[in-house]
Chains A and B, each alone.
Chain A
């Protein structure tokens, strides 16, 4: 299946190419059964996150993932994809996620992930998903109390992670923050407090089999005088996923390019091939996203 995937483009296109190249009805029928079989297999693999370029670049051991985006190429879809995979966590039992949402209300994520085939309401009820509605964070407190609010938030997150670990679920837990730039705004611009909070979340990853995924808007910091949150996050990250627009401008088939830098501090995080930097194009769809190497799309 892997050979087939690399040799030909995404499922839908492969199906289309079979039709156009088939010369006889019998041959096209036989080809179609093969293709359907592989399509189903690939769909199953996709559901468990084992099929596409992004998961190949990421590899299972990444602890701290920083997703960078900009206005021209928003990367919220990466968060949605990772959230879906965290909740699916194939291989029987395990997984779980905590979503610290400053950008959107729960209904938004519910709607988006439902189209991707993931029922957030159900997961929330069954306590596999812990949703923190932080649109009003920190809620009235000011000044030095920001650090306290963040400490309390951390305390809540740690409790959630501990209870999840204590249960039968021994799988990887994911803490997701959407997004850090808004967290900095909520903290009245105090990057130090936000970094302290993030540092404590990072300690969770080393102590409690947990992953941290944060989204940050890179274009906010590009013209800053001082060194902003972005530089610190790049140092903390094990994996950096950067979404950027194409240099050639807008296109219907390709929405942008994704660069994945796998810094892999610990040996189990290093991808098998040893490659550290991946660069490919993406297209955002209703039910997910396609990742492909430049030029392999019709």
Chain B
């Protein structure tokens, strides 16, 4: 297993530094991480300068990471980029088939150099490659038109959005220049995940994100998710929810196949009037009444039904799909 980081926005050392700080040792790093450096010289300007000055190509600035970091100088050529990513991925050692993941930081920078179609094509190619297990990328949604963001969201099986806690629409034009609300936004944010299941169902998860120094903490905001679930019910003029009393009554209802009788004779309704009603009817002749009583006595239970209820607390509209674990 390995990770290929396609780095556009930050120097490769930054990623290595982050991984080291999070406990990965340098041996594991050199074994499992490869960085395609599209940050240092994306358009080849520096190489041109060196060739003009007839200098030797010094390669990566940091010599200790030569194996881990590979410089890429033609970001406008999407096909070449795709090949380089796959080549780096194939270079991971391992027995049998080694799968690797690809991380792109960031798609927004890639979009400055190539069209949406070519980058979507790149992602689709990577996705269908048999050695790539997962791809994740970062996109700054406010740098692009909504339709481009949506195009990339459609490609993905999971979309995680980091949204500001405090939105400045409150201030609007009145307090222009006052950015003090940002102080809160730099350490806390809302984290919203949209998962697309294979059967087409979409699951939403809400959490709160908290940044302290180098650590990022996720606090699950269960209260928020309940509100969302309730709001997913259609707004109609009758109540689709159950009140507490209704819920307890429902729990007390004895289902037809769940018992074998309370000691009273079992009356299976066959379309005729029930016996007590027949007694009260003055028009009924004795003969007909006798008939009904006899029919009742001879109705012996010939078969038995044993009914075991699946689960008690399964709400009818819950998100859990029992067919989820089917691997079709």
Contact = CB atoms under 8 A, between A and B. Distances in A.
Contacts of B49: 155, 158
B176 interface: yes
Given A243-B177, A247-B176, A277-B179, A263 B143 contact: no
B45 A195 contact: no
B214 A259 contact: no
A266 B175 CA distance: 30
Contact of A245 (B48, B142, B177, B187): B177
Interface of B is mostly: loop
Nearest to A270: B213
B217 interface: no
A276 B178 contact: no
B61 A151 contact: no
A231 interface: yes
Interface in B178-215: 178-180, 182-183, 186-187, 213-214
Contact of A235 (B11, B48, B143, B186): B143
Given A266-B14, A276-B186, A259 B177 contact: yes
Interface in A191-230: 192, 195-196, 199-200, 203, 206-207, 226-227
Contact of B180 (A203, A227, A279): A279
Main SS at interface, chain A: mixed
A192 B115 CA distance: 13
B182 A276 contact: yes
Contacts of A192: 112
B246 to A, nearest CB: 51
Interface in A272-298: 275-277, 279
Interface in B195-241: 213-214
A131 interface: no
B279 interface: no
B174 interface: yes
B48 A195 contact: no
A-side interface size class: 35 or more
Contacts, number: 80
A155 B177 CA distance: 36
A175 interface: no
B164 interface: no
A23 to B, nearest CB: 40
Contacts of B213: 267
A206 B11 contact: yes
A73 B175 CA distance: 14
Contacts of A151: 43, 45, 48
Contacts of A244: 176-178
Contacts of A259: 177-180
B168 to A, nearest CB: 12
Given A266-B14, A267-B214, A247 B182 contact: no
Contact of A279 (B13, B52, B179): B179
A242 interface: yes
Contacts of B179: 242, 259, 261, 277, 279
Ordered nearest first, which 7 A-B pairs have the shortest CB separation? A244-B177, A277-B183, A259-B179, A206-B11, A276-B186, A155-B49, A277-B182
20 contacts: A151-B43, A151-B45, A154-B45, A155-B45, A200-B45, A206-B13, A227-B143, A227-B144, A235-B140, A242-B177, A244-B176, A245-B176, A247-B178, A257-B177, A265-B14, A267-B214, A275-B183, A276-B187, A277-B186, A279-B178
Given A155-B45, A242-B177, 15 more contacts: A155-B48, A155-B49, A203-B11, A206-B13, A207-B11, A227-B142, A243-B177, A247-B176, A257-B177, A259-B177, A259-B178, A261-B179, A261-B182, A276-B183, A277-B183
